[in-house]
Amino acid sequence: QQQVKQSPQSLIVQKGGISIINCAYENTAFDYFPWYQQFPGKGPALLIAIRPDVSEKKEGRFTISFNKSAKQFSLHIMDSQPGDSATYFCAARNDHFGNEKLTFGTGTRLTIIP
Amino acid sequence: DAGVTQSPTHLIKTRGQQVTLRCSPKSGHDTVSWYQQALGQGPQFIFQYYEEEERQRGNFPDRFSGHQFPNYSSELNVNALLLGDSALYLCASSLSQGEQYFGPGTRLTVT
């Protein structure tokens, strides 16, 4: 059973535009939500993460919006640049000791065009 | 400070063989998790090691086993390889309940 659904599968955005990737989860026990960026041939790199006690977190050009009642969260990339072209994964975790596996979405391939 | 390192980078094996993959965690980290990433998919959790014990396991058969050493490095072993085991195997290290940092992965091809 897929517990984290991610959309869209692929996204093309013009340079300088806003890229938006959405995720929805089913397990209400999840309480930690990271986003990872992965370039071809590399491992995923942690980008930004949020916990459900806040509705938004911003780090530079990257913002996570979180809607606990809807069980949805999204990544916004402002002023998107060609170097942002990568695959992005949302993930979720039940953040209790001994139960730390990350459940990933299926990924979004983002392409930023000039 | 070196991040998470994995070896080898690439590996080609034949069906039925056994394989061992290795991971060295980021300095100061005591927890190692292993994930399998099939082409075009998100990583799937295999298991996690903490204090040299398997602490949590995902939905993978017993052919997948692991070990953590006193220096926190870890190995992933897969027996009786199947074609479907072809994937990128990722190691992630963390402090317990901390953020997980991934290595570059080992690309396993089973022929």
Distance from CA of A93 to the nearest CA of B (A): 10
Q: pLDDT tens across A16-35, in order?
A: 999 999 999 999 889 999 99
User: What is the total count of domains within chain A?
Assistant: 1
Q: What is the pLDDT of residue B15?
A: 98
B97/A36 Cβ within 8 A? no
Rounded to whole angstroms, how far apart are CA atoms A111 and A88? 11
Percent of chain A at pLDDT exceeding 70: 96
CATH number of the domain residue A55 falls in: 2.60.40.10
| Chain B CA closest to residue A93 | B97
pLDDT < 70 positions in chain A: 1-2, 97-98
B58/A43 Cβ within 8 A? no
Structural domains for chain B: 5-110 (2.60.40.10)
Q: What is the pLDDT of residue A15?
A: 98
| Chain A CA closest to residue B47 | A101
Q: Which structural domain range is residue A34 located in? A: 4-113
Rounded to whole angstroms, how far apart are CA atoms B111 and B107? 13
Helices (H), chain A: none
